Amino acid sequence: MINSRGVKNKNLNKKLKIPLILVTGFLGSGKTTFIRHLLVRYADEHRIGIIQNEYASAHIDTAELNATGKKFSILEINNGSVFCVCLLANFIDSLAAFIDDHSPDLLILESSGLSDPIGIAELMQHEKLVYKTFLLQSVCIIDLVNFFKVVRLSERLKRQIMIADMILLNKSDQGHESAGPVTAHIRKLNPFAVIAETAFCRKDDFPDPFTTHRKALAVRMNYSLEPYERADIKTVVLRTTRQFPEDLVTRFISEVEQYCIRMKGFINLDNKKMISVQSEFGKTEIREIDYYAGPTELIGLGHEISQEHFGRLYHDLRKSRTEN
């Protein structure tokens, strides 16, 4: 390569490192919705690689992203936080191989809502990753409606806020109190981040990752903190090809949602319909969908939720068939 002065620039012959956007936020804050917007905006002209980190083995968020109709490559890391020592080595190897296999222009890492990503800067310096990718920006999605419930519950959310370059106060359209108290609380944890209110995570002036220079994270990362181990929150999964009566599902959800911090997934009904379930702190939205045709997959997360709670749906199904 020759620069404007006719001098050979050896650096341009090297493969450029791939920018990575880290998306954090507690359960149900809107991380997947935000990534949908990035896909719609950039996937037509750029190769996008998405790393999804879930605490349970399922493909619910992937189905949401597929509904955009955009092309992307995906690496799923399930059953724990990629920042936990129990998965760290596997994640590093998997990400390095993913980059080699797909050569994306941009990486987007959607961390588990329960993750503690305080060590992300150190992770990016690992010898297997340091010449392949770099952390461009950390975006934390905040559930503006439930923030003060969550921040008392999760030390990890505080840490997600502390490392963020940008913080989106999401669900600003849902009739909450003034964002002032939330902003003031966040500013105590992170006085450096850009803070913006959003509805459905839409931020049209989000900096273009392909023209934005790398953010200097050193100030935000200079904490004497150690990453936490796996959060003390239980995960239960319902996965089956069985179909369920709609009234039974409605009754089941009304009973189980009180035990869940977060519940999400898809349920097959016996009337040939597929429904999406999204629940946060007992507030549940159920809607019919046509973009997913797989088996029933439902995930619940909470301190008191158990597999027996989800097993009750099978019990009620058998009981209803016996009575009929």
Least trusted range by pLDDT, from 132-136, 150-154, 267-271, 281-285 = 150-154
Instruction: State how far the Cα of 64 lies from the Cα of 87, in Å rounded to an integer.
Output: 25
Q: Running DSSP on this structure, what letter comes out for residue 287?
A: E
Pick the CATH number of 234-323 from 3.40.640.10, 3.30.450.20, 3.30.1220.10, 3.30.365.10: 3.30.1220.10
Average pLDDT, the chain: 80
The amino acid at 30:
G
pLDDT tens for 143-160 read 998 898 888 767 788 888
Instruction: State how far the Cα of 322 lies from the Cα of 64, in Å rounded to an integer.
Output: 36
Instruction: State how far the Cα of 81 lies from the Cα of 263, in Å rounded to an integer.
Output: 18
Indicate the pTM of the whole model: 0.75
The amino acid at 69:
G
Give the model's pLDDT for residue 2.
33
Enumerate the β-bridge partners of residue 287: 276
Q: How confident is the model at residue 186 (pLDDT cuts 50, 70, 90)?
A: very high
28 contacts 266 by C-beta, under 8 angstroms: no
211 phi/psi in degrees, rounded to 5: -125, -10
pLDDT, mean of residues 125-134:
88
Distances in whole angstroms, Cα of residue 31 to Cα of each of 22, 53, 237, 280, 289 = 10, 11, 20, 14, 20
Residue 315 pLDDT > 80: no
Segments making up each domain of the chain, as ranges: 13-221, 234-323
Instruction: State how far the Cα of 306 lies from the Cα of 316, in Å rounded to an integer.
Output: 16
Closest CA to 273 of 285, 252, 284, 288: 288
CATH 3.20.20.70 fits 13-221, yes or no: no
C-alpha dihedral sign at 90, 85, 280, 51? negative
